[in-house]
Structure 1
Amino acid sequence: MSAYSSLSRRAFGSMLLASTAAACAPRVPEMPVPTAPQFLPEYPPLRDAGYDLPAIPIEYTQGINRRMEGVYTGEAPRGSIDVDPYAKFLYHVKMDGTATRYPVGVGRQGRTLSGLATIQLKKAWPGWTPTANMIRTEPEVYSDFRGGIPGGLRSPLGARALYIYRNGRDTFYRVHGTNDLESIGNSGSAGCIRMFNQDIIHLYNNVTTPMTINIRSEAESLRVDPEYFNRGVELPPKIISADELLGPEAVSSDREPMRDELASNF
């Protein structure tokens, strides 16, 4: 995918990997026929911080719901991040006018930040604590976790998080990883921007802070990317019991991430 100059916004949708199928030679029937890959090359199993992250099954990365490279046609400045919560994409806009586009999951309608802000911090394997507003509006989902969950495989923020600030203050919105694969390309979280763990690690390794982030309004999304406006569906909140994340069995099998063994070349 080196011919950036020939790509357009619509061309992003056609940038699919070509697949090849190998057949057995007729005179060696004992050789097994290779099976089709179960994941795309961008989403392999990954060793990170002492954890073995599984590959992203190919069923979740069909069509445009995967990482792609191309010419950026949006309105955010170069050297920034541009998020379209209606088309469910995040763009890392490069200085040369190209961009890496990632599929994302976003908050339900009315629960997503919009406009310009700043990525002020980035953290590997961050811990998570629900905000007071999350506990107040959806106590059945969040109240059991008011004490927080430490960084690691149990954390809802996944492998990495980028922290969004506005006017020097934490907005409590994040760009972060997730194990909820179904949410990518859809809406349903409390408002944060979710990515496949492989994608948030890739983005984390390629951004520096501080960095401008733009979250498109409905009007901007319709103006810039009407083709994919409102793609995906709205999912109900996924309720996980406290025992699953905070119970003795879960805690006993947990361990701190080895932060000096991060996947830096992914």
Structure 2
Amino acid sequence: MSIRSLFALAAIAVTLGGCVTRSDAELNLGPARSTVGPAVAARYAAIDNDKYPIAGIDPDELQPAYVRQLVDYKTDEPPGTVVVDPHGRFLYLVMERGKALRYGVGVGKAGLEFSGTAHVGRKAVWPHWTPTKSMIAREPQRYGKWAKGMDGGGANPLGPRALYLFKDGKDTLYRIHGTTEPETIGKAVSSGCIRMLNQDIVDLYSRVPTGAKVVVR
């Protein structure tokens, strides 16, 4: 075989090797997704036995950092306290023995307007929702039709459950609630308070009684 032929074969080999090692972006496959295990995925399956059906979440869309999980957590707060970290995008339910249940959250503008200690003054199942005047002014086409409020249901932005925070006997207007936009968990969002995946707010609602202490960092 001639030297020219050997160089040609080498060039072909390099070309074929390049096809194997091309990046996902070059192949238009998109970024690799982190996956969760079957047990975690099962926590976010559809819920069909509630007043309204709650859609399941595609496991490929779940971000491992923001799914419900038991973590080590050092705090002087007693078990049963809810600690909201709006800047870190997490909510903690303090447990016994230095542990906490950690939930991922999305944080709207109103979620950054209160900090300090409050308590759960009211809980609601499939809560009624009314957009604020500022929301209507900012996006009248989106929110204007709901100026008188929206009853609970699958399209309601508060989702299936809501916790209402009170301080000194007054409503702080701070809410912990579900969402119709699960992709916003872990992010800053344009409106709302503290939003959680619907399966997570249902879980938190079942664990936290009215009167529970809430600390917002």
So what's the TM-score if we normalise by structure 2? 0.75
For 2:84 and 2:111, locate their aligned partners in 1 and report how far apart those are by CA, in whole Å.
15
Give the drift of 1:159: 0.5
Deviation per CA, 1:148-183: give whole Å up to 9, x if none: 000111211111000011221112221001120111
Give the drift of 1:111: 4.1
Give the drift of 1:188: 0.7
Give the drift of 1:136: 4.1
1:98-247 correspondence to structure 2 within 5 Å: 98-108=99-109, 111-216=112-217
8 Å CA contact retained: 1:134, 1:190: yes
Aligned to 1:259: none
Aligned to 1:63: 64
8 Å CA contact retained: 2:89, 2:187: yes
Identity of aligned residues (%): 42
Give the drift of 1:142: 2.7
Aligned to 2:45: 44
Q: Where does structure 1 differ by over 6 angstroms across 4 or more consecutive aligned residues?
A: none
Deviation per CA, 1:209-247: give whole Å up to 9, x if none: 10111111xxxxxxxxxxxxxxxxxxxxxxxxxxxxxxx
- The size of the alignment, in residue pairs, is 183
Give the drift of 1:88: 0.5
For 2:55 and 2:134, locate their aligned partners in 1 and report how far apart those are by CA, in whole Å.
33
Name the SS for the 1:123 alignment partner. strand
Deviation per CA, 1:178-210: give whole Å up to 9, x if none: 120111110114241001110000001111110
For 2:44 and 2:111, locate their aligned partners in 1 and report how far apart those are by CA, in whole Å.
31
8 Å CA contact retained: 1:78, 1:97: no
Aligned to 2:92: 91
Aligned to 1:261: none
Deviation per CA, 1:47-103: give whole Å up to 9, x if none: 243433221112332221211012222454432100111111100112443211000
For 1:211 and 1:134, locate their aligned partners in 2 and report how far apart those are by CA, in whole Å.
29
1:72-91 correspondence to structure 2 within 5 Å: 72-74=73-75, 76-91=77-92
Compute the RMSD of aligned alpha carbons: 2.5
Matched to 1:207, the amino acid is V
- Cα 1:125/1:195, change in 2 over 3 Å: same
Aligned to 2:16: none
| Gaps in structure 1 of 5+ consecutive residues | 1-15, 20-36, 217-266
Name the SS for the 1:90 alignment partner. strand
Name the SS for the 2:164 alignment partner. strand
**185-194 or 196-205, larger mean C-alpha shift:** 185-194
Choose between structure 1 and 2: higher helix proportion: 2
- Cα 1:133/1:117, change in 2 over 3 Å: farther
| Gaps in structure 2 of 5+ consecutive residues | 1-34
